Amino acid sequence: MDTVPSEVRKLNFDDYSTAKHLEHAAAQAYARNFQDFLIVDVDAHHYENESYKEVFAYIESPVIRHDVIDSAQRPGRSAMINASVGNQNLGGRITRANLRRLQKVPADGRHRDIAMTLEWMDAMGVDYACMFPTPMLFLGLHPQVEIEVALCRAYNRWLCERILAVEPRLVSMLYIPFNDPEAAYKTVKDFGDCKGVVGFMVTSPRYRPVHDNAYMKTYALLEEMGKPISFHAAYSWEDRALQMTNRFISVHSLGFMWFNMIHMTNWVVNGLPERFPKLKVLWIESGLTWAYSLMQRLDHSYMMRTSDCPSLRRKPSEYMREMYFSSQPMEKPDDPSILEATFKMINAETQLLWSSDYPHWDFDLPGVIYDLPFLSEKAKRNILGANAARVFGLDTKVVKRIP
Amino acid sequence: MAEWFVAKAAELPEGDRRIVVAGKDEVGVFHHGGAYYAYSNYCVHSGGPACEGILINKVVDLIDADRTYQGQTFSDEVHFVCPWHGYEYELATGRCVGDRRLKLKKYQVVRRGDDIYVVT
C-alpha cells in the first residue's frame, strides 16, 4: 500500500470565512462551467439588523427614530420592532448563522454587507443577486402601521444609498409598506427610478387582501413602469391556523405556502390579471408544489363556479402559468417525473427564476437546476439567469469571479 | 489503495477531528468515544462539507406507555451535522438519519505506531 503525503485541515470554530464555508460550492461551479453563463439569484438575503444603527438614522419621524433607537439598546426585551418566534438555525446546527460575526472583510472601504454578499455570490457562481431583508420580512405583522411605514422607508433609503448605488451586482425589489396603501403608492413613486431597484416586494405574512381597491393605483403604476411586483413568503406562528402547529418544521413548511396561496387565490379570482395584463407578478420562496396544487384546485372549482369570478376569461391556471416563480426551496421528490410535471405545469423554461435564499438555513445552489436530467442546456440557463435578466432588465454580461 | 497521513495520535485527542484532502476527495476523520471514524466530506444532499459541522446527540420524543407525549431528550446516539443545511449522520455508521438508505462513504482508519492514517 502506498503512503501518500496529505493535506490535513484542522477544524476551527473560532473564526469563519464564507469562501471556506462554500468551498465545495465553488468546486461545483467550476465543474459545471458556471463561469460561461449568467446566473441571477432572485431571492438572496442580508441581515439588515446588523446595520440597524445606520438604518435607524434614516427614520424620518424624530419621535419614531428616538423610540426605535432607544428600544434597540435593550436586546431581548420588548422592542419597537417585532420579531418572530422560530428556530431557523436548527439549534446551532447551521453554523454560519452564529459564526458570520467572526468573518473578516477586506479593509477596502466597501460596506461589510457588500463584501460578505459578493463573497458568497462568487463562490456559488452568481453574477447578480436581488437582496431582501431578514427580520423585516415579519414587519407586515407589526401592530403599528406607522412603524412599518417609517422603518420600510428608512430601510429603502439606506439600501438605495449605501448598497445599491455603490455595488452594481446587487439589486433589490424594494419593500412596500402594504398595510398603508397610500404609503405603498408613494414608495413606488419615490424609489422606482433609483439605481438597482428592479421591482417591489410585498412581504406575504399580513392580513390585507391584495384585491382591495386601495391598491389598484399602485398596481397600475407598477404596470406602467414595467417593474414587477413580488410576494415574498414567510411564516407567522401568530396566525390562528398555524398556531396549532408545535414544531418549526410544521409552521415553516405550511407558512411559506399559506400566505402566498391566499394572495394568489385572491389575485386570480378577483381578475387582477385581466385588470393588469402587463403587470409582472413574481411569487417568492414558496417552492413549487403549492402552485402545482393550487392550479388544479382552482381550475376544478372554476368550471362549476364561473359566477364567483366573472372577470376571468380563462381558467385560473392559465393566468398563473403566465406569472413568475422563484425556485427555492425547490422540492426534490424521489420520483423525478413528479418534478418534471411540476416544471411543465408552471412553464418553467420561461417562468421559473432560480433563487438561493442564501444565507438562510434551507438555501439552494444553482446545481439544483443545473443537475436536473430533464432540462435542456437552454432551459437550465434560462432558469438560472436569462429569465431573471429579462424580467428585471439586467445586463447579461457575466461579471462573477469564482474563487 | 493508498494511505493518507492524518495526524500523530497525540495531536488528535478525543473529540477532535481532521479533514484530509486525499487526491480529489476530502475525508473527515473523527476521534470520538475512543474510536476513529472516517467518512466522505461530501453531503449526500448537495455536496456540503458534511464532516465539518457540530456533533450532537440524537433527539428523541418521550412517549409514555399510554402513548402520551412527555417531552424530548437526547439519546446516546451521536450525530455529526452538515453545516450547510443540517443533514444529520450517525457517527458510528455514516448513515443519513433522515433516510437511512443513504450513507456517506466510509473509510478505514489505521494506526501505525504513533501515526494515524486513513485508507482510500
Q: What percent of chain A has pLDDT over 70?
A: 99
Type of residue found at A86: G
Q: What percent of chain A has pLDDT over 90?
A: 92
> What is the average per-residue pLDDT within B73-80?
97
* Number of neighbours of residue A400 by Cβ within 10 angstroms: 20
Residue B95 backbone dihedrals phi, psi, to 5 degrees: -75, 145
Q: What is the rounded CA–CA span in Å between residue A46 and residue A219?
A: 27
Q: Please state, rounded to an integer, the average pLDDT across all residues of chain A.
A: 96
Q: What is the rounded CA–CA span in Å between residue B57 and residue B32?
A: 13
> What is the average per-residue pLDDT within B70-99?
98
Strands A197-203 and A170-175: parallel
Nearest to A231 by CA among A265, A254, A270: A265
> What is the average per-residue pLDDT within A244-270?
97
Confidence of residue A261 (pLDDT cuts 50, 70, 90): very high
* Number of neighbours of residue A284 by Cβ within 10 angstroms: 28
DSSP structure string for A199-254: EEEEES-SS--TT-GGGHHHHHHHHHHT--EEEE----TTSTTGGG--SHHHHHHH
Give yes or no for a contact between A272 and A381, defined as CB atoms under 8 angstroms apart. no
- Do the Cβ atoms of A6 and B22 come within 8 Å? yes
Q: What is the rounded CA–CA span in Å between residue B25 and residue B40?
A: 8
The boundaries of the domain holding residue A364 are 24-54+100-392
Burial class (CB in 10 A: 0-12, 13-18, 19+), B48: buried
Q: What is the rounded CA–CA span in Å between residue A368 and residue A358?
A: 14
pLDDT in tens, A33-84: 999 999 999 999 999 999 999 999 999 999 999 999 999 888 777 788 888 8
The confidence score (pLDDT) of residue A15 equals 86
The confidence score (pLDDT) of residue A254 equals 97
Q: What is the rounded CA–CA span in Å between residue A224 and residue A218?
A: 10
> What is the chain A residue with the closest CA to B21?
A7
What distance in Å separates residue B106's CA from the closest CA in chain A?
A: 18
A80 is a domain residue? no
Nearest to B48 by CA among A21, A309, A206, A204: A21
Number of domains in chain A: 1
Type of residue found at A8: V
Burial class (CB in 10 A: 0-12, 13-18, 19+), B31: buried
Residue A361 near chain B (CB below 8 Å): yes
Helix (H, G, I), strand (E, B) or coil at B56: strand
A12 is a domain residue? no
Interface probe for B, chosen from A1, A11, A87, A371 (most Cβ of B below 10 Å), is A11
> What is the average per-residue pLDDT within A119-146?
97
- Do the Cβ atoms of A28 and B19 come within 8 Å? no
The confidence score (pLDDT) of residue A9 equals 81
**Bond from prior residue into A373 cis (ω within 30 degrees of 0):** no
CA A132 to mean position of chain CA atoms? 6
Q: Residue A287: give its domain's CATH number.
A: 3.20.20.140
A60 is a domain residue? no
> What is the average per-residue pLDDT within A189-199?
98
> What is the average per-residue pLDDT within A368-382?
98
The H-or-E segment that residue A197 falls in is strand A197-203
In the predicted structure, residue A324 carries a pLDDT above the cut 80? yes
Write down all domains in chain B, each with its CATH number in brackets.
3-119 (2.102.10.10)
Q: What global pTM score does this model have?
A: 0.96
Residue A24 near chain B (CB below 8 Å): yes
Q: What is the rounded CA–CA span in Å between residue A259 and residue A85?
A: 17
Confidence of residue A6 (pLDDT cuts 50, 70, 90): confident
Give yes or no for a contact between A12 and B19, defined as CB atoms under 8 angstroms apart. no
Confidence of residue A113 (pLDDT cuts 50, 70, 90): very high
> What is the average per-residue pLDDT within A351-380?
98
> What is the average per-residue pLDDT within A274-294?
97
The confidence score (pLDDT) of residue A5 equals 67
Q: What is the rounded CA–CA span in Å between residue B106 and residue A368?
A: 26
Q: What is the rounded CA–CA span in Å between residue A203 and residue A219?
A: 16
> What is the average per-residue pLDDT within A301-312?
98
A290 is a domain residue? yes
Helix (H, G, I), strand (E, B) or coil at B94: coil
The confidence score (pLDDT) of residue A255 equals 97
Q: What is the rounded CA–CA span in Å between residue A124 and residue A149?
A: 34
ipTM above threshold 0.90: yes
> What is the average per-residue pLDDT within B49-68?
97
What distance in Å separates residue A325's CA from the closest CA in chain B?
A: 22
Q: Where are the beta strands (DSSP E) in B41-91?
A: 55-63, 69-81, 88-90
Residues of A in contact with B117 (CB under 8 A): 3
Give yes or no for a contact between A383 and A369, defined as CB atoms under 8 angstroms apart. yes
A172 is a domain residue? yes
The confidence score (pLDDT) of residue B60 equals 97
The confidence score (pLDDT) of residue A83 equals 82
DSSP structure string for A351-397: HEE----TTSTT---THHHHT-TTS-HHHHHIIIIIHHHHHHT----
DSSP structure string for A40-76: EEEEEE--GGGGHHHHHTT---HHHHHHHHHHHTSTT
The residue assigned the cell 438508505 is: B101
pLDDT in tens, A133-160: 999 999 999 999 999 999 999 999 999 9
> What is the chain B residue with the closest CA to A3?
B3
Nearest to A119 by CA among A194, A23, A36, A191: A23
DSSP B104: P
A401 is a domain residue? no
Confidence of residue A1 (pLDDT cuts 50, 70, 90): low
The confidence score (pLDDT) of residue A198 equals 98
- Do the Cβ atoms of A95 and B83 come within 8 Å? yes
A350 is a domain residue? yes
The confidence score (pLDDT) of residue A349 equals 98
Residue B98 near chain A (CB below 8 Å): no
Nearest to A55 by CA among A99, A111, A109: A111
Q: What is the rounded CA–CA span in Å between residue A108 and residue A147?
A: 35
For chains A and B, CB pairs below 8 A equal 85
A17 is a domain residue? no
In which region does residue B98 sit, left (phi positive, over 0), alpha (psi from -120 to 50) or beta (all else)?
A: alpha
- Do the Cβ atoms of A28 and B47 come within 8 Å? yes
